Amino acid sequence: MSWRDALALAARAVWRRLGRSALTVIAVALAAALLTGLLIIATTARTRVLGQLSKGGPLASIRVERQGLAEVDLRRLSEVPDVRSVAPISVARQLILPPTPSVFGAASPATQAVAAVTTEPFVDGVVGIDMRRAALFPVTLLAGRLPMPGSTTEVVVTEGYLRHVGVDESRPVSVLGTQLELAEARFLGQAFDDGVFSRWTRATIVGVVAQEAGAGDVLAPIEQIRAAERFAGESTAYTAVLVEASSLESVGRVHDAIETMGYSASAPENLIATVQRYLHVVEIVLSAIGLIALVIAAIGITNALLAAVRERRQEIGVLKAIGARDRDVLRIFLIEAAIVGFLGGLAGVTVGWAIARTVATVVNRYMVEQGLAGVQMSFPWAILLGGLVASTLLALVAGALPAVRAARLPAREAMAGA
Amino acid sequence: MSLRGLAAATVGFLALTACGGGGQVGSAVLPSVSPSGRALTYVAIGASETVGIGADHPQAQAWPQVFYRTALPRAAVLVNLGVPGSTVAQAVREQLPSAIAAKPDLATVFLNVNDIVDRVPVSAYRADLEMLLEGLRSTGARVLVANVPPLDQLPLLKACLPFAPGLGGSCDTSRRISVEKIDRTVDDFNGAIASVASATGAIVVDLHAASLKVRKAGGEASIISSDGFHPSTAGHELIARTFAAALRRAFPGVAVGDP
């Protein structure tokens, strides 16, 4: 008997006893949904917690500071063993002119949202990072997007900026699209009667972030800061450097090596490693709960198939009488079990994913109301495929005993039992 | 159900339920960012008006700021080299080197009133202005140079007649002036500006005519600040509009915004 014939016979058997099959599929689906939903929620929560601890940057990052950091320091740091990448940070104190209708002429809806009160220019830090490697930095996007790498006309702002201009922090999108004017000053000194030259740029706010890369409420591509520093004639040394180690386990080694080289380094790896261990235990417990549910469903499959073997003795006898071998009968019943497991798994991971999305939506709404960044759910391919495969395999295991019993049934005995 | 159909259904299900994370939050509400335009460098050379003295918010309402904001592409950079009290001779020493270093695409010059107040001879003014404009031309920049607006009705000046205004709003009783002399001096300086601009390829921005138009309409008081000398916020806007109009006429490919 070919696999195709066995599959057809097994599918027909499932279809003929639709009620019993449906109940078994539902049992598997519920268990798979529980397992999938719990795992997705656990991994999303882990990402959020660890992200919060690392302030949005990679877990294995180390902040390096020293006077006069230059390109040669970036090269030296990148040559330290177990260093994956290095990225500089520059911070410039600039005059910031937020938009107000009286200054910018006709008010757009976005400008009006910002200018509830007249806002005077103020001096603040503008933090420059390489936007091509934004994932390396402790920056969490709250609204909009990050500036394009190398852009001279886009910036993002922090919640501190929202407070400064009198915008409701729970509505960060209201500043998106408004324009800032930023100025770097070159002080001329007494020889020029303490005059000031200034260099102005205009930038559109494209996002709102929480960031701890540097002291300032505006975040811009580093190219903007470097150009401003060149105009001001100030030192073009970097304010700090972020070093990413190849793994959480190597952070300690890299940290020590950097400090030996004479730099000042800091990393939160101890706290993150501890929290990771606790979260791992939580995931194991949740997985165990889901697996227990799957095992219970598998017992149901065994029970249902044993009953099917008893009811289909004559059918088995006829099959053997017309030439089916023991392994053909085994194959039919195993495929039947696999079909139930697969269908139940498919339904289960779908429902589990939907439950996790619903929970995330509710949690996000609450967190935004509390002024916190929400959770970001990426599509959990591994968990969904794993749930589907686990359900199918477990059903195969559950169906093994009934399938063996059916396969070993002598043809004459099976026919006689009719 | 055949195996093939089952496989197709599985792939279809997984594709339908896939959800990209993306790099945006609330992207549906993000306004589109308009093109930023040319990244040209604009250098402003001048004196107290250039740094916004007289406006309600000098840093935001100085006429170069208004001009930069309304007439130039968003990607443009403004380098403001204005020094209060500067004459052309001082600007050649203090501002021109930084202007050349900035490699400007566009430069504006508004330097004349302090030279008149300091009684710089028009011949010396002409020579200094020529040096300044030639220096800017050497960078390849398009240059706009303002002429002298009418000074005879300035409140600070009228309050001191027949004496000249002094330092700190006082009157210098050692010097006598007359409205006719002021007008002649303004005309002489404007003649020198036109002549030097023509020789160096710079474009004259006729603030004189623009201010007379406002005077004729009865609005002159609104464009002079409360100190009686510098332009008010409205005056800075008038200067910016006049420069923008001159830019559009002379270099239509550079300017943006409404004519």
Q: Is the pLDDT of residue B10 over 50?
A: no
Subunit contact B24:A144, Cβ cutoff 8 A: yes
Mean pLDDT for chain B?
84
In A104-163, the residues whose Cβ lies within 8 Å of chain B are 104-105, 110, 120-121, 141-146, 151-154
Q: Is the pLDDT of residue B149 over 90?
A: yes
C-alpha closest to that of B79 among B136, B138, B129 = B136
Structure confidence by residue, pLDDT tens digits, B70-86? 899 888 999 999 999 99
Q: What is the Cα–Cα distance from A274 to A285, expressed in whole angstroms?
A: 17
**Maximum average pLDDT range among A138-152, A326-340, B41-55, B155-169:** B41-55
Number of CB pairs < 8 Å for A and B?
Answer: 117
**How many angstroms away from the CA of B57 is the closest CA of chain A?**
8
Subunit contact B14:A384, Cβ cutoff 8 A: yes
Task: Specify the 3-state DSSP secondary structure of A221.
Answer: strand
What pLDDT was estimated at residue A105? Answer: 46
Residue B102 with chain A: CB contacts under 8 Å = 231
What pLDDT was estimated at residue A128? Answer: 94
Structure tokens at A351: 């429902």
Subunit contact A143:B26, Cβ cutoff 8 A: yes
As a dihedral over the C-alpha atoms of residue B61, residue B191, residue B199, residue B142, rounded to 10 degrees, the angle is 10
What pLDDT was estimated at residue A87? Answer: 92
**How many angstroms away from the CA of B206 is the closest CA of chain A?**
24
Per-residue pLDDT band at B28 (split at 50, 70, 90)? very low
Q: What is the Cα–Cα distance from B15 to B12, expressed in whole angstroms?
A: 5
What pLDDT was estimated at residue A200? Answer: 95
Q: Is the pLDDT of residue B94 over 90?
A: yes
Q: Is the pLDDT of residue B232 over 50?
A: yes
Task: Specify the 3-state DSSP secondary structure of A203.
Answer: strand
Q: What is the Cα–Cα distance from B202 to B196, expressed in whole angstroms?
A: 8
ipTM, two decimals: 0.83
Q: Under an 8 Å CB criterion, which residues of B touch A?
A: 1, 3, 10, 13-14, 17-21, 23-27, 29-31, 33, 36, 39, 57, 59-61, 65, 68-70, 74-81, 83-85, 94, 98, 102
- A183 close to B (CB below 8 A): yes
What pLDDT was estimated at residue A375? Answer: 63
- Helix, strand, coil in percent for chain B, rounding step 5: 50, 15, 35
Return the residue of B nearest to A12 by Cα. B1
**Rg (Cα) of chain A, in Å, rounded?**
32
**How many angstroms away from the CA of A4 is the closest CA of chain B?**
8
Mutate to test the interface with B, among A7, A155, A199 (most CBs of B within 10 A): A199
Subunit contact B77:A204, Cβ cutoff 8 A: no
Mutate to test the interface with B, among A43, A103, A159 (most CBs of B within 10 A): A103
Subunit contact B98:A197, Cβ cutoff 8 A: yes
CA B221 to chain centre: 21
How large is the average pLDDT for residues B60-74?
A: 92
- A252 close to B (CB below 8 A): no
Give the one of B19, B23, B31 whose C-beta lies nearest to A176's C-beta.
B31
Residue A101: other Cβ atoms inside 10 A = 14
What pLDDT was estimated at residue A193? Answer: 66
Distances (CA, A) of A230 to A153, B65, B69: 18, 21, 23
C-alpha closest to that of A202 among B40, B239, B245, B109 = B40
C-alpha closest to that of A330 among A316, A318, A315 = A316
Q: Is the pLDDT of residue B17 over 50?
A: no
Phi and psi at residue B248, in whole multiples of 5°? -65, -40
Give the one of A110, A145, A379 whose C-beta lies nearest to B24's C-beta.
A145
- A238 close to B (CB below 8 A): no
Q: What is the Cα–Cα distance from A351 to A34, expressed in whole angstroms?
A: 9
Q: What is the Cα–Cα distance from B90 to B118, expressed in whole angstroms?
A: 12
C-alpha closest to that of A14 among A403, A407, A418, A343 = A343
Q: What is the Cα–Cα distance from A106 to B91, expressed in whole angstroms?
A: 35
Mean pLDDT by 10 residues, chain A (418 residues): 84 86 88 85 75 65 88 93 92 87 50 53 92 86 91 92 82 84 86 80 91 86 92 84 86 90 80 69 81 84 85 83 85 89 91 86 73 66 87 90 86 65
**Cis (ω within 30 of 0) for the bond into A410?**
no
Residue A177 with chain B: CB contacts under 8 Å = 30-31, 33
- A7 close to B (CB below 8 A): yes
Structure confidence by residue, pLDDT tens digits, B205-226? 999 999 999 999 999 999 999 9
Subunit contact B26:A144, Cβ cutoff 8 A: yes
The reported pTM is: 0.69
Q: Is the pLDDT of residue B21 over 60?
A: no
H-type helices in A146-236, by residue range? Answer: 159-165, 222-232
- A231 close to B (CB below 8 A): yes
Angle between helices A18-53 and A326-369 (to 10 degrees): 40
What pLDDT was estimated at residue B118? Answer: 86
Q: What is the Cα–Cα distance from A35 to A292, expressed in whole angstroms?
A: 9
Q: What is the Cα–Cα distance from B234 to B243, expressed in whole angstroms?
A: 14
Subunit contact A202:B18, Cβ cutoff 8 A: no
Return the residue of B nearest to A188 by Cα. B94
Give the E-state strand segments of chain B in sequence order: 41-46, 77-80, 106-110, 142-146, 163-165, 171-176, 203-205
C-alpha closest to that of A254 among A73, A82, A76 = A82
- A166 close to B (CB below 8 A): no
Q: Is the pLDDT of residue B15 over 50?
A: no
What pLDDT was estimated at residue A53? Answer: 63
Structure confidence by residue, pLDDT tens digits, B112-134? 999 998 889 999 999 999 999 99
Residue A142 with chain B: CB contacts under 8 Å = 25
Q: What is the Cα–Cα distance from A301 to A36, expressed in whole angstroms?
A: 20
* Amino acid at site B146: A
